[in-house]
Chain A
Amino acid sequence: MNLDKVISGFFIILAMTLNFGFFYGDLDSLEAHSKYELFAAIIVNLIATTLKLGDKTQMGSVLLATSLVADIQLIAAAIVWAIAYYVYVIDKEIVAIIISLSGGALLANITSVALYVGETLKSKR
Chain B
Amino acid sequence: MQNTSLWIILQKMRIPFIVIILTYTIAIIGLVSIDGMDANGNVHKMTIFDALYFISYTATTIGFGETPYTFTYSQRLWVTFSIYLTVIGWFYGIGTLIGLLQNKTFLNEIARVKFRRQIGHIRKKYIIVLGFSYVTNEIIKRLLANDMQVVVIEKSEEKANALILENYTPTVPVLVLDAYKANALEQAGINKSNCKAVISLFEDDALNLRIAIVSRLLNKNIQLAIKATTPNSVNNLKDINTNVIANPFSTIANELKMAIKSPNLLKLEKWIYKIDTLDSHLVKLPVGKYIICGFGRLGKNIYRALKNEDIEFVFIEIDPNKTQEFQEESLHQMIIGDADDKNVLLKAGIKTATAVVAFTNNDTTNISILATAKKLNDDIITIAREDEIEDVSIFSNAQIDYLFMPSKILVNKITNALINPLADTFARAIKRKDEKWATSLVRSLVQNIDANPVLFELSINSSQAHQICEYIEASNEIALSIFEISLHNRNLKNNVIALLLKRDDEIVILPSLDTPLKIDDKLLFACDENAQNDIEYIAQNPYEFHYALNGEEKTLFKKG
Contact = CB atoms under 8 A, between A and B. Distances in A.
B10 A54 contact: yes
Given A50-B21, A82-B48, 18 more contacts: A36-B48, A43-B21, A47-B18, A47-B21, A47-B22, A50-B14, A50-B17, A51-B18, A53-B10, A53-B11, A53-B13, A54-B7, A54-B8, A56-B1, A56-B4, A61-B1, A82-B49, A85-B49
A5 to B, nearest CB: 15
A46 interface: yes
Interface string B6-28: 01111111100110011001001
B7 A56 contact: yes
Interface in B27-41: 28, 32
Q: Tell me if A's interface is mostly helix, strand, loop or mixed.
A: helix
B18 A54 contact: no
Q: Which 9 interchain pairs have the tightest Cβ spacing?
A: A54-B11, A54-B10, A53-B10, A50-B17, A82-B49, A43-B25, A46-B21, A50-B18, A54-B7
B14 A53 contact: yes
Contacts of A35: 48
A116 interface: no
Most buried by B among A35, A36, A46, A55: A46
B47 interface: yes
Contacts of A61: 1
B9 to A, nearest CB: 8
Contacts of B28: 39
A46 B23 CA distance: 13
29 contacts: A35-B48, A36-B32, A36-B48, A39-B28, A39-B48, A43-B21, A43-B25, A46-B21, A47-B18, A47-B21, A50-B17, A50-B18, A53-B10, A53-B13, A53-B14, A53-B17, A54-B8, A54-B10, A54-B11, A54-B12, A54-B13, A55-B11, A56-B1, A56-B4, A56-B7, A82-B48, A82-B49, A85-B47, A85-B49
Interface residues of B, number: 20
Interface in A54-108: 54-56, 61, 78, 82, 85-86
Most buried by A among B9, B25, B47: B25
Contacts of B22: 47
Most buried by A among B1, B32, B48: B48
Contacts of A56: 1, 4, 7
Contacts of A51: 14, 18
Nearest to B15: A50
B464 to A, nearest CB: 49
A39 B27 CA distance: 13
Interface in A8-61: 35-36, 39, 43, 46-47, 50-51, 53-56, 61
A77 to B, nearest CB: 12
Given A43-B21, A54-B7, A56-B1, A86 B14 contact: no
A43 B32 CA distance: 15
A53 B8 CA distance: 10
A71 to B, nearest CB: 11
Nearest to B1: A56
A9 to B, nearest CB: 16
Contacts of A53: 10-11, 13-14, 17
A47 B32 CA distance: 21
A70 to B, nearest CB: 15
Contacts of B32: 36
A23 B53 CA distance: 25
Contacts of B10: 53-54
Nearest to A53: B10
Contact of A54 (B14, B48, B49): B14
A116 B13 CA distance: 22
Nearest to B18: A50
A23 to B, nearest CB: 18
A39 to B, nearest CB: 5
Contacts of A36: 32, 48
B85 to A, nearest CB: 15
Contacts of A55: 11
A85 B17 CA distance: 29
